[in-house]
Amino acid sequence: MACFITFEGSEGCGKTTQIRILADRLKAIGHGVITTREPGGCPIADKIRGILLDAENGALTPLSELLLYAAARSQHMAEVVKPALACGHVVLCDRFTDATVAYQGYGRQLDRETIDRLNVLATGGIRPDITVLLDCPVEIGLKRAMARINTTSGAREERFELEAMEFHRRVRSGYLELAAREPERFIVINGAAGVEETSVEIEAAILARLPGGS
Ligand code: TMP
C-alpha cells in the first residue's frame, strides 16, 4: 500500500545510511520501495541541486534559493513521487518540505507564509504520511558531514556545511519545533547513536505505523 515517508535532520544526522537500510528491510518483507532525495531525485532536479549546493554560489540570495528548492521539488513530484505513490509503492524520500521550513524558514529566517504557499504549490498538496526526524547535536553532525565531503570525489556539495554554527542551531531547533507540533506525523530518533541501534529503532517505529502493518 502506498506510503510517503520522509527523512529529515540537520547536517550529518545519518539519514542517507538509514534510508538505505530501511529500504532493504522493507523490500525483504515484500514492500515495493522507491528511494529518492531532495533537492534532486531526477535529472532536472539534480541539475538544480548542483546550483544549490555549490560552495562557489555564495552570492545566491535567500529568495532565489527558496525558489530553486521549489522548482526542483515541483519537477521531482511530477516525475518521481506522484507516479510512485500512484503505483502503490512505499516512497522513502531524503528531505522534503520540512527541510524548506527548517533551513529557509528557521535558518535563513524567510517569511513562513511564503514558504508554506510555495510548498503547497510545488507538491500539489501531497504531504508525507510519516516523517522520521534524526535529531543530532550540530557539532557531531557537522564533523561527520565534513569528513564525508573530504573523502568524496567530484563536486564539493558544502554550501550549507559552511554556514555559521548559529544557523545550524536554528535549523535543529526548528525541526524539533515542527516535530512537537505534529507528533502524529513525526518520529523523532536519536541520530547520534550507532548505525545499527538507530536502524532497529526506525524499523520498529515504521512497521508499527505502516498501513497494513508489517
Ligand atoms: P543533503 O545534504 O541532506 O542531501 O541536503 C542538501 C542540503 O540542502 C542540506 O544542506 C539541506 C538543504 N536543503 C534546504 O536548505 N532546503 C530544502 O528544501 C531541502 C530539500 C534541502
Q: Which of 181, 191, 138, 192 is nearest to 160 (CA)?
A: 138
pLDDT of residue 213: 57
Match 532497529 to its residue by C-alpha cell. Answer: 200
- 173-182 average pLDDT score: 98
Instruction: Tell me, using a 6 A CB cutoff, whether residue 141 lines ligand 1.
Output: no
* Contact (Cβ atoms closer than 8 angstroms) between residue 189 and residue 134: yes
Grid coordinates of 176? 524539533
pLDDT tens digit string along 111-167?
Answer: 999 999 999 999 999 999 999 999 999 999 988 988 888 888 777 788 788 888 999
Q: Cα Rg for the chain, rounded, in angstroms?
A: 16
Residue 172 has pLDDT above 60, yes or no: yes
CA of 40 to the centre of ligand 1 (A): 10
| Residue 206 burial (10 A CB sphere; 0-12, 13-18, 19+) | buried
pLDDT of residue 151: 86
Instruction: Tell me, using a 6 A CB cutoff, whether residue 7 lines ligand 1.
Output: no
Residue 108 has pLDDT above 90, yes or no: yes
- 194-214 average pLDDT score: 90
Q: How many CB atoms lie within 10 A of CB 18?
A: 24
CA of 41 to the centre of ligand 1 (A): 13
Query: 147 CB contacts (<8 Å, ≥6 apart)?
Result: none
CA dist 32 and 88 (Å) reads 8
Mean pLDDT rounded to a whole number for the chain: 95
pLDDT of residue 212: 66
Determine how β-strand 90-94 pairs with β-strand 130-135: unpaired
pLDDT tens digit string along 12-31?
Answer: 999 999 999 999 999 999 99
Instruction: Tell me, using a 6 A CB cutoff, whether residue 103 lines ligand 1.
Output: yes
